[in-house]
Amino acid sequence: MDDLEVFRYSHDAFGEGKPIAKPKSKTIGPFIRGPIPMDWLVRAARIPRRNAVLVGLVLFHLAGMKSERNGLVLCVERCKPFELGRKAVQRGLADLESHGLVRVDRSAGRCPRVDLVVD
């Protein structure tokens, strides 16, 4: 008997005709968990500098990981995949704040704490 024969599938062993559940596909890499309100996204996209909408997407990514939209700590490292530097993140956050899309609590020497304002 071949050594691999012990691993061969047998209908008798597992029950004939029973469908085998397919494994759920796994998302590879980071993703943005929704829902993201379309009104919020459109308002952010209309801000002249593109930094605002990119910072907003990072914030929704953080909100999805935390399952909460308040008290998000936005450090510059989170924005590196979008090639946003410290000043760009600050401008984008200020633009979102001036348009009423976020509330920001800034403390000297710390990353800002951000609340998403979703109607």
In order of their start, the domains of the chain are 27-116 (1.10.10)
Q: Rounded CA gap, 74 and 80, in Å?
A: 12
> What DSSP string describes 13-62?
HH-TTPPPPPPPPPPPS----S---HHHHHHHHTSSSTHHHHHHHHHHHH
Closest CA to 58 of 26, 80, 91: 80
* Banded model confidence at residue 93, pLDDT cuts 50, 70, 90: very high
Q: Is the pLDDT of residue 97 over 60?
A: yes
What is the tens place of the pLDDT at every residue in 23-46?
Answer: 676 767 888 888 999 999 999 999
Q: Rounded CA gap, 32 and 30, in Å?
A: 7
- For residues 104 and 73, is the Cβ–Cβ distance under 8 A? no
Strand pairing class (113-116; 72-73): antiparallel
* Banded model confidence at residue 47, pLDDT cuts 50, 70, 90: very high
Closest CA to 42 of 53, 57, 31, 58: 53
* Enclosing H/E stretch for 68: none
